[in-house]
Amino acid sequence: YQPQLDLRGRQIVGVEALLRWRRANGSYIAPGEFIPIAEQSTLIITLSQWLINQICRQILIWDHIKLPPLRVAFNVAARHFRHAQILATLHESVGRYAIDPARLCIELTEDALLDDAAHARTILEEIKRIGLSISIDDFGAGYSSLSHLRSYPIDELKIDQRFIAELTTDPGSRAIAASVIAIGNTFGLRVVAEGVETAVQLAILSEHDCGIVQGYHLANPMSANALADWIRYRQEGPA
């Protein structure tokens, strides 16, 4: 789970769930290696079901130990998004764990919205009806149009981290990041900059009035227990 912070107040507002596969020897396999393989079969569906249930369970545990009520974002592969199973899983998990669905945010990449726009809209509307918020991941790198922001029920834009990486070196990337922030703010959407690695990047994002930041400069992805410690340490300081 990687913290997402409100840029102004530096309060944690949410986390993004990022999968890790632990080998028997304790080392980890990155999702970039196993997700594309899982996507080639129905394994991706089983994996996503497991993930969503795991997140709901984790939310109950964090609530039980009185952590602030964070929003948990999770990634859904475009291939699984188009599968009817995703809606059933969301309904079922939210019901089974009696989670406030507003605590969940689904991250989709632009390609999930492209082919068969009508079908995509139907699924998005159903996800909204269940009560989740919807984020467009890696925004700015794909082909979605501005009219998507108007016609789809979207709550959040995540600026593609390539543009954040190039904020100080490429005026074009900086212009794209600034534009995405301005567009998001104009449409009343949350805007998240991810991959923030330096104080200078943070200052530029602040200058452009970006709402939420995520990246190694703020916090690395960490286990659920480490996240609880991280939040308490920030609230209370060293024991």
Residue type, 123: I
Q: Which parts of this chain interact with ligand C2E (CB under 6 A)?
A: 2, 18-19, 30-32, 35, 51, 74-77, 137-138, 194-197, 215-216, 221
136 or 231, CB closer to Ca ion? 136
Q: What minimum distance in Å lies between the beta carbon of 175 and ligand C2E?
A: 21
Compute the distance between CA of residue 183 and CA of residue 211 in angstroms, rounded to an integer.
12
Residue type, 136: I
Compute the distance between CA of residue 134 and CA of residue 118 in angstroms, rounded to an integer.
17
- Residue 21 three-state SS: strand
Taking CB atoms, the residue at the shortest distance from ligand C2E is 215
Compute the distance between CA of residue 113 and CA of residue 108 in angstroms, rounded to an integer.
8
- Residue 201 three-state SS: helix
Q: What minimum distance in Å lies between the beta carbon of 195 and ligand C2E?
A: 4
Residue 107 near Ca ion by CB under 5 A: yes
Q: What minimum distance in Å lies between the beta carbon of 239 and Ca ion?
A: 33
Site for Ca ion in 48-87 (CB under 5 A): 75
92 or 197, CB closer to ligand C2E? 197
Compute the distance between CA of residue 67 and CA of residue 59 in angstroms, rounded to an integer.
9
Residues that bind Ca ion (CB under 5 A): 75, 107, 137-138
